[in-house]
Structure 1
Amino acid sequence: MAIHRESSLRDAVVSVGLAAMSNVTQDRALSLAAREKYVATINVVQRAVENPESANVNQTFKIILMLSLYEMVCCTPNRIDSWIVHLDGVAALAKQTSFEDAMKSDHPRPQLQFYFILIVRYFLTQGEIPSDLLDWSPGCVPSVKPDVAPAVRLVGILIRFMKLHSSIQHHRNPDPETTAGSAQACDAELENWENQLPRKWMFSLNESTDLHNTFKGKYLLYNDMWASRILNHYFWARLMVNEMIALYLSRLETPTLYDLQRRQRALDTISRMATYICAGAASQMGVFACRLPLGGLKHLPPLNGVFMLMFPLAVAGGAAGAPKEVHEWVLETLQRIGETMGIRRALETIPMLNQARERKMKELTTGK
């Protein structure tokens, strides 16, 4: 049975790889082979849903996430978020007793990644807050060890920001001063989170003469590979929080000097977070290295983390207040990801970013 599960996960991975190769080479045979593996893997998940007691939870979740990646690779303009269907399947499985118990294991990293993905899903769809997060508390993650404690705290902060964002979206005319103040409180939480990071989680912005494989000669160096993934969520969230501050302060009819200073501080933070996102993308796509605890430098596989990097890149590329060079670099990077790695979602994201940035830049300058 274990061999069968491993084979199913392998088929899921192969389906993504073949689909990406097909997009790059325009080879229809590869596309058909990828689709065949994809369909076979869906059947495996259906059997797991029908018999959850006999299913391997971690393997099933990994398989479903690979199915989501397949949808990102193969997406069309009218189905850019089709990958979310599979994520909804993960959420449904998590409610089943056997799956829920397995998630509450001594290895909370998959569970934490699940929460982060649900948060990203909310901001992508601008819909309702996922029910799994409404009553979340740190106690939902048992056996919290020091190396994952920062991630647990960050989930809590992002959920509070998500609830603030949702309440604003449901308010017809939110008060600019009140909204900016609430966002500033969230920003203070995020800043405090960064200031309390343990040494293992620290990162540094470095310079390089290689302008082609970096963000304008900048890249990030990390002490821990897993921490680098979680830090991405901190970067995009803090950028979005400060974007909210800047946009709502721009709506004030008679801003004071203090208001203008708050707005400038928000714009400076947006620029810094956007730089971190872009510089980190070069590191995490394998262009530069990650300093690991065991010493030495180890290069990451080129595709490692690319899928989850696309959301932070989109946040940076479409942000109001982010430098023009960030916007242009993100578009170039997404174009390269789409053309060389075969991930169509990267290409379909580009026109959306142009529209989002144009709309928000207008609001930032006119307050409307």
Structure 2
Amino acid sequence: MVYRGKPSGACERCRSRRLKCDQGIPSCSACIRARVDCPGYRNRLDLGFRDQNDEVISRAQRSARKKRSAALTPVSVEESGSGTLSFSPRNNLEFPAQDLAKGYFFSHYITGGLEGGHMSYLLPLIADPGNVAVNSALNAVGLAALSNIRLSPQMMLKARREYTNALSETNQALANIAMSKRDDTLAAVVLLGMFEVLTCSDGSFIDRWMKHMEGATKLIEFRGVDQLGRREGLDLFTQLRAQIHIGKIYQERYSSPLLFQLSENAMRYRDSNDHIVDELGLEVIRLSNFCASMKDGSVTDPGEIIRTALTIDANLTSLFISVPAAWSYRTVRVPVYNGEAITRAVWGDTYHIYGSLASSSVWNNYRSARILVHELIIDTVKTLEASASEDTDRRRQSALDSQSRLIAHQLVEDICASVPFNLGAGIEVSEETDIEGPAPFRVTGAGGFSLMWPLLIAGNSGLACQELRQWIIDCLEKIGHSMGINQALAMAHLLRRGMRSRAWISEDGTSSSDGCIGVTGH
């Protein structure tokens, strides 16, 4: 992408008349003076965001044509029976849509972008054509994403057929003790969950998703410690554990002791530099159990709630004071051109660069947990204010409230600073000319999946100003439309309505009839 100067943020009327626009909300002063309705402003992310879905597929098609140049007729995966992954050279009915689906999934979740390898554990599992469930589930996910992006009912019909086949095969595998412990069976469960996230369209989705997570929890517990000794098993456990954690916190339910034990054992099979993943997991389990104890009335004393919350926050902070180099990140200032930042696709004047998507996800899970902790502290302090009898008590409570708000606000800003990296954006500087310019967004579904829950928590924290909240909504909508992930659109809808993030969970732990949200994470 060549830098063409900073795009105007003026309203449409001011741009067309070349007037100076103060970009006021809800109407600029120029429109107010002219006594006309201000037409509003362009989406800030649209100014620096380039969707490359078609480009990715086009590259895959060109590569496929080169590989097949010697062949007289194309052979699909189904026809050859070899299980070899191939891309369709043309996007029409002459070639199987499954090839397009696999190409999309590989580009967005396995090899795409700066964070390639996010789900690389799937490679040896789908290489075996005998693993029907996981291959059908992968096809379903790829087709569903492409259907959402291209608004194609035909592709969605094929996606649902693949989903039905994968679900049937998975249920058969789960009925067999030996097969239920296999990695390809659990991988199929993960992909079926992804399909639910991609295709959610009504309030019943959350009920289905919660049941899906309950089944996944029982499955990884049944698989036991043996799963941790295999690379694929350890990666699957790590990915599912993050999803289970968020579900438990938002349902305010206890995590099982067995999940805690497996998290402790996982460190034995992981490189010592990666122990931060399991240490964070253990602390988040303590947080979910704490939330559950408050809901069931085991903990009611405000002083005890604040002390426990501060202890959990201190433990989380201590974990990330000094992390191995592979898990660290650096803060970069947005380059300035003629005295102004070159892009509005970044919130503020800095953003983060991480070594991997896994690193970014761990940091955002940590930030999300601490935001929830400080929300608990802020809410509890409010209950103490009414009963405070001494000025000294009120001053202490006010200081604690201010401290929690300050910390949580910084955590919200840090989540937003991770967005450019997760969506594949960077700032390129030409070594020859030293001219700075924005790099294009290399959109990948994996980056979008890892961002959705942290963005929802940040946007709903009550610590984001209206402008930042709208920026977060824009991010979620971009993820939804550009990556075909309906859950992100549902989250944006909740934030736009100003709902509390737990409002879609009723007292009995099931979803309300309005909205649909699932859980993702690394």
TM range (shorter): 0.7 to 0.9
| Equivalent residue number for residue 40 of structure 2 | none
- Which residue pairs with 1:44 in the alignment? 169
Partner Cα distance (2:130, 2:414) in 1: 38
Query: Mean Cα displacement is larger for which, 122-131 or 148-157?
Result: 122-131
Aligned residues: 350
2:383 aligned residue: 251
SS of the aligned residue for 1:4 comes to coil
1:117 to 226, 240, 243: 243
Pairing 1:27–2:165 present: no
Is 1:151 the counterpart of 2:289 in the alignment? no
Change (3 A) 1:285 1:13: farther
1:310-321 to 2 correspondences below 5 Å: 310-321=452-463
Q: Structure 1 length as normaliser, TM-score?
A: 0.85
Q: Could you say which residue in structure 2 is the equivalent of 1:68? A: 193
Deviation at 1:50, TM superposition (A): 2.1
Residue from 265, 281, 288 that aligns with 2:403 = 265
Task: Report the CA distance shift for 1:114/1:188 in structure 2 as closer, same or farther (over 3 A).
Answer: same
Alpha-carbon separation, structure 1, partners of 2:246 and 2:203: 20
CA contact (8 A) 1:19 1:74 kept: yes
Per-residue deviation, residues 79-103 of structure 1 (Å, max 9, x unmatched): 242333332232222243xx32541
Cα displacement (A) at 1:6? 5.3
Assess if the C-alpha contact under 8 Å between 1:45 and 1:64 holds in 2.
yes
Change (3 A) 1:17 1:136: closer
1:71 deviation in Å? 0.7
Instruction: Say whether 1:238 aligns with 2:393.
Output: no
Partner of 2:445: 303
Q: CA deviation at 1:130?
A: 4.4
Letter in 1 for 2:475: T
- Given the alignment, which residue of 226, 229, 252 partners 1:105? 229
- Taking the aligned partners of 2:350 and 2:183, their CA distance within structure 1 comes to 36
| Alpha carbons 2:173, 2:180 under 8 Å: kept | yes
1:211 positional shift: 3.4
Shift in alpha-carbon separation, 1:358–1:232, aligned structure 2, 3 A: closer
The residue number in structure 1 matching 2:360 is 228
CA–CA distance in structure 1, aligned partners of residues 477 and 501 of structure 2: 17
* CA positional deviation for 1:346: 1.5
Asked if the contact 1:68–1:86 (Cα under 8 Å) also holds between the matched residues in 2, the reply is yes
2:313 matched to which residue of 1?
187
Q: What's 1:174 paired with?
A: 300
Are the aligned partners of 2:249 and 2:287 in contact in 1 as well (CA < 8 Å)? no
Q: Which runs of 5+ in 2 are unaligned?
A: 1-125, 335-340, 428-438, 504-522
State the secondary structure of the residue aligned to 2:499: helix
2:184 to 48, 59, 67: 59
Q: Structure 1: how far apart are the matches of 2:468 and 2:258? A: 34
- Partner letter of residue 384 of structure 2? L
For the pair 1:338 / 2:463, whether they are aligned, the reply is: no
Q: In the alignment, is the contact (CA less than 8 A) between 2:253 and 2:288 conserved in 1?
A: no
* Aligned residues of 2:255 and 2:285 also touching (Cα < 8 A): no
Of 496, 499, 504, the residue aligned with 1:355 is 499
Give the direction of change, closer, same or farther, for the CA distance of 1:335–1:130 in structure 2 (3 Å limit). farther
Does the alignment pair 1:325 with 2:467? Answer: yes
For 1:45 and 1:79, locate their aligned partners in 2 and report how far apart those are by CA, in whole Å: 22
Task: Kindly state the Cα deviation for residue 7 of structure 1 after the two structures are TM-superposed.
Answer: 5.5
Aligned residues with identical type, % of pairs: 21
> Relative to total residues, which structure has the larger helix share, 1 or 2?
1
Shift of 1:44: 2.1
- Which is greater in Rg? 2
Distance (Å, rounded) in 1 between the aligned partners of 2:449 and 2:209: 11
Partner of 2:326: 200
Equivalences for residues 8-27 of structure 1 within 5 A: 8-27=133-152
Contact 1:243 / 1:321 at 8 angstroms: preserved in 2?
A: no
Aligned counterpart, 1:286: 424
Q: TM (normalized to structure 2)?
A: 0.61
Deviation at 1:274, TM superposition (A): 0.9
Aligned match of 2:109? none
Query: How far 1:352 moved relative to its partner?
Result: 3.0
Return the offset for 1:250: 2.4
Could you say what secondary structure the match of 1:221 adopts?
A: strand
Q: Structure 1 residues 9, 249: closer, same or farther in 2, change over 3 A?
A: same
State whether residues 122 and 130 of structure 1, in contact with CA within 8 Å, keep that contact through their aligned partners in structure 2: no
CA distance in 1, matches of 2:282, 2:298: 27
Corresponding residue number in structure 1 for 2:70: none
Kindly report the root-mean-square deviation, in angstroms, between the aligned alpha carbons of the 2 structures. Answer: 2.9
In structure 2, the CA distance between the partners of 1:118 and 1:20, relative to structure 1 (3 Å rule), is same
Change (3 A) 1:132 1:79: farther
Gaps of 5+ in 1: 290-296, 360-368
Contact 2:180 2:219 in 1 (8 A): no
Structure 2: distance between partners of 1:218 and 1:9: 41
CA contact (8 A) 2:350 2:417 kept: yes
Instruction: Letter of the 1:310 partner, please give it.
Output: M
CA contact (8 A) 2:309 2:373 kept: yes
